[in-house]
Chain A
Amino acid sequence: MQVSTDSMHSSHYVIFNADICTGCTNCIKACPTKAIRLYNDNPTCLTDNCIRCGECLRVCPTGAISTTTYELEALQKDKVSITLVSPVLYSQFKGVMPNDILLAVKKIGFHHVMDLSYYIEMFLYAAEEYIIENRITGRSPWPLISPACPVVIRLIAYQFPKLLPHLIPIMRPVSLLAKETRANISREYKIKKDAVILYHLTPCPAKMVPSKSSFAPENSLVDRTMGIKDVYAQISGQLKHMKKNGIEALREESETQKISGNCLLWGISGGEIAGINSDKTLAVSGLRETIAYLEKIELGLFKDIEYIEFRTCPEGCVGGALNAVDKYIAKNTVLKMLRKFGLERLIPREKVILLYENGWGLSDTTQDELQRIFGVYKEHISIEQLKDIEKIMQQIQGKDCAACGAPDCRTFAEDVVMGKAVLNDCIMLRKREIDKISEYK
């Protein structure tokens, strides 16, 4: 098996701090792809199985797990740095207007900040158009699945590759924005495209990866990602400063952007389908629920649904592991702001349809590519091995205690059969042996 350097598997996504880790096994049990083991009290990530969902970050009680992050670089003279702001950022500051937040972000060190409103609306139009087309052509199987959540794409490619045709082949809003921004800025400033540095400020645990090893070409449209919580204090500081100096004056000198209600809503579960013009939609959030629904779709259910929005973070992106504020508080902030903004779209449909018909926004990542990057590493077993696994399970009669370092007895049995663990690591078995010996005494 060859490991190519640009595959998602080539670098570690999570970093464990052994000094803080107590060996509680929470992360091991939470991992949906069972990619973490405890070897000699040290958690280890089997990178081949990691889909970068951030679930381990979320459940770690001591903060011993972190992801790769970037230090914000100082502004460079010959380069233009721009940050593309996830709309979830607006949910992190109650009662502050989006444009003020954008200005605060700019002041921490960017030439420009970009809001996603337009691209989210474009995406919604394109998704609607695809649904309407699909009713006639039947090109993709129902239910269509939203490509917006990167963890869902990885999960499908890794664990449900047969569902790849359900994903609508439209680029995610941030990818669309990245592509356009790089082109526009390099034209405007008359600089080369690689002199434009694109940051993405996001709550999404999946995006905290070096662009080279990201899962799909379109992801590499962004140069760096920053977690919201990593710059939260700086933004707050700027906001305070702005308030002291009178926001009104600052507003005038800054470039105000039109914020769409659809953009605000995007961050909470159901926010995507709320804007989609079809009744046959569903919104599912949370990792476990997402997996349960994907299993059912694989079974052939939900054919009467046209579009499903999946978000693996609880409550949607406001539940993203890299947020600074509690997800329910953030959700409330969004809903209250929405009363002001409404759900009317800023861009007229005609404008987008023409672009759509010319193939604008269509994803250039093929299903084969997705599967090649993820699917290859999934190990398969033989009927004999399956029987051996079952035999070991019978022998253990365990309680998924995870003391062996595997998340559950089933995974431990698999590891034993695949030669990655030894049966003697099971404390249930050892205990029973000791009991047996002491009985004879």
Chain B
Amino acid sequence: MTAFKKSFNIKKRDFVRAGEASINVQNILKSLNMDHKLIRRIAICGYESEMNVVMHGGDGILTVEINTGKIILDIEDNGDGIENIELAMQKGYSTATEEHREMGFGAGMGLPNMKANSDILSVESEKGKGTQVHMEFNVSAD
């Protein structure tokens, strides 16, 4: 059986529409009657990565892939990339601007949250070439 796949655009610095891609994903998962705790985790991860694209990255795409046993989120952007991924993964590390902090972002908790809420997280990035975030979530059969 092939998977269901759908992509959503994310626009650089568009704070007004930020979150729309994750809301779309959330609505699809709700229509499939997925476990609400799983939906919650996926929504958190989707939103954090979507915000990272909006705040730090460039224009991007969020793709959701739904299989019977596994859900995958891929978020890619064409921004400046992350210089030191290991550092970026640390709790509290942030390069957010004053302006971002005023909006309530920049705690440096996005990536750690994604790590905690996904079953697999991988971040690939090259300075100047953008960032690719890949997350997997196991769907337990019950």
Contacts and interface: CB of A to CB of B under 8 A. Distances in A.
A383 B68 contact: yes
B36 interface: yes
Given A299-B23, A301-B19, A382 B43 contact: no
A194 interface: no
A301 B3 CA distance: 30
B4 A300 contact: no
A433 interface: no
A380 B43 CA distance: 19
B6 interface: yes
Given A298-B43, A386-B66, A390-B4, A381 B26 contact: no
A242 to B, nearest CB: 52
A298 B23 CA distance: 9
Interface string B51-71: 000000000000000111000
Interface stretch (B27-35, B74-82, B126-134): B27-35
Interface string A284-311: 0000000000011011110010000000
Interface string B16-49: 0001001100111001110010001001100100
Nearest to A162: B36
A296 B15 CA distance: 13
A94 interface: no
Contacts, number: 47
Contacts of B1: 383-384
Contact of A383 (B32, B36, B40, B44): B32
Interface in A375-417: 380-384, 386-387, 390
Main secondary structure of the interface of A (DSSP, over half): helix
Interface residues of A, number: 16
**Residue of A298, A299, A304, A381 with most chain B CB atoms under a 10 A cut-off:** A299
Interface in B80-131: 104
B51 to A, nearest CB: 10
A386 B4 contact: yes
Contact of A380 (B2, B22, B31, B47): B31
B31 A299 contact: no
Contacts of A304: 104
Nearest to A292: B23
A384 B40 CA distance: 23
Contact of A381 (B23, B32, B36): B32
A380 B33 contact: yes
Given A295-B23, A383-B4, A386-B31, A300 B36 contact: no
Contacts of B43: 298-300
Given A162-B36, A299-B47, A381 B4 contact: no
Nearest to B31: A381
A386 B40 CA distance: 20
Nearest to A298: B26
Contacts of A381: 31-32
A299 B32 contact: no
Interface of B: 1-4, 6, 19, 22-23, 26-28, 31-33, 36, 40, 43-44, 47, 66-68, 104
Given A380-B32, A386-B66, A387-B2, 6 more contacts: A162-B36, A162-B40, A299-B26, A301-B19, A383-B3, A383-B68
Top 10 closest pairs, chain A to chain B, by CB: A380-B33, A295-B23, A387-B4, A386-B4, A162-B36, A299-B43, A383-B4, A299-B47, A381-B31, A383-B66
23 contacts: A162-B36, A295-B26, A298-B26, A298-B43, A299-B23, A299-B43, A299-B47, A304-B104, A380-B32, A381-B31, A381-B32, A382-B32, A383-B1, A383-B3, A383-B4, A383-B67, A383-B68, A386-B4, A386-B28, A386-B31, A386-B32, A387-B2, A390-B4
